[in-house]
Amino acid sequence: MNRRKFLYSAAYILIVMIIGVLVVEGGVRVYIACSPYHSDKAYFSSLFGWGCNSVIVGSEDAGSAKILVIGDSFTQRSDGKRYYDYLVESLPGTQLFEYGCGAYGWVQEYMVLDHYIDSLKPDLIIWQLCYNDIVNNDYALESASFMHNDSRTRPYYEEGRLIWRYPRRYFGWLNALLQSSLALRILQHNFDLIAIERAGGSIAQRLERHDPMIRNALRNSAAVMQMFKKRADSIPVVAFTAKTFLTSPYLHMPVWVEKEYASLCASNQILYVDDIEARLLRAVAQGESINLSWEKPASHWNEAGHRIVAEGLRVFLQKHGLAPHTKQTVE
């Protein structure tokens, strides 16, 4: 009798636990499905991300020069105006379309370009790269990373095609379970945030430029950038790298990362703005705060940081004849 009661009790507890897990999983899936960013995530990837934003600012005149800005969270986040707001204010007669989404890599940003370029017909494309793109662009590197593994299915470039994969860190049944459960992925992502300090930051900080994993990531990144420029065709593309400026060693990347980005841009006839970091560092040296105060650790730019970035872009565009008053050189 006692054995039967024990079995009934165990079965009851098991059933309650299973129902609880299903309720939590269902709640997460409903939340994601009802998210205002769900359609963007469904097309470009991202599960339970920080969200995407897309805005049109500036002149609405039919003859306005059009600028398309594409980037990740550095384009998306601010405590006030963003760099593209300041940029369009300093370039009269310009209409600017911006698309920024947290955690995006180059493949997703290429997909944004591919989706919008024909309808927008921009005269200029500004592409905000990020110091951690080297990780997000490569499946193996992101799978091995704690710092920059966003625990979501995303598209990667592999062997000449785009493949959607979940960056795994586990194998066998545990990886299969994570692949099928959104709730467990969220839990894993939070455990990863705790593990960052033990891991010593991003994997790219611990690997040398000539490490096989880095070389493969650079090959994949080069292929995606080539696709981006080919899709842009004759439309000029201007790129710059967003970096964070903190004492925390976990948020810094090796110097060679930006040098590789600049080299890839040169190989693909993409103009590269190489003084954004210097401008921000000068502001920091003068005691100016350029990072969001509410982020812990603070990594993205605040409004002051965005203003400095915009000034660097404005000077670069005017120097290369890409400002609206010289639109005839862009067409």
How many Å apart are CA 165 and CA 224, to the nearest integer? 16
Structure tokens at 131: 């110091």
Tokens 């692949």, residue located: 179
Give me the residues paired with residue 128 across strands: 240
The DSSP call for residue 316 is H
How many Å apart are CA 134 and CA 149, to the nearest integer? 12
Find all residues with CB under 8 Å of 199, minimum gap 6, and list them.
146, 147
Amino acid at the residue 263:
S
How many Å apart are CA 329 and CA 331, to the nearest integer? 6
Structure tokens at 67: 């600028």
Each residue's pLDDT expressed in tens, for the chain with a length of 331 residues: 577 777 778 888 888 888 877 787 777 667 666 654 444 343 333 333 334 666 677 666 667 889 999 999 899 888 899 999 999 999 988 889 999 888 899 999 999 999 999 999 999 999 999 988 999 999 998 888 877 777 677 899 998 999 888 786 666 666 666 666 666 666 666 666 655 545 555 676 677 788 899 999 999 999 999 999 999 999 999 999 998 665 455 556 678 888 999 999 999 999 999 999 999 989 989 999 888 877 766 678 999 999 999 999 999 999 999 986 544 433 3
- Under DSSP, is residue 242 helix (H, G, I), strand (E, B) or coil? strand
Q: Tell me which residue of 143, 110, 129, 84 sits closest to 314, measured CA to CA.
A: 84
Query: pLDDT tens-digit profile of 157-191?
Result: 998 999 888 786 666 666 666 666 666 666 666 66
Query: pLDDT tens-digit profile of 39-51?
Result: 434 333 333 333 4
Query: pLDDT tens-digit profile of 61-105?
Result: 667 889 999 999 899 888 899 999 999 999 988 889 999 888 899
How many Å apart are CA 48 and CA 152, to the nearest integer? 8
Question: Cα torsion at 101, 47, 187, 151 (round to 10°)?
Answer: -70
Tokens 């400095």, residue located: 308
Q: Where are the beta strands (DSSP E) in 102-199?
A: 124-130, 154-158, 161-165
Q: Residue 26: in which H helix or E strand, if any?
A: helix 2-34
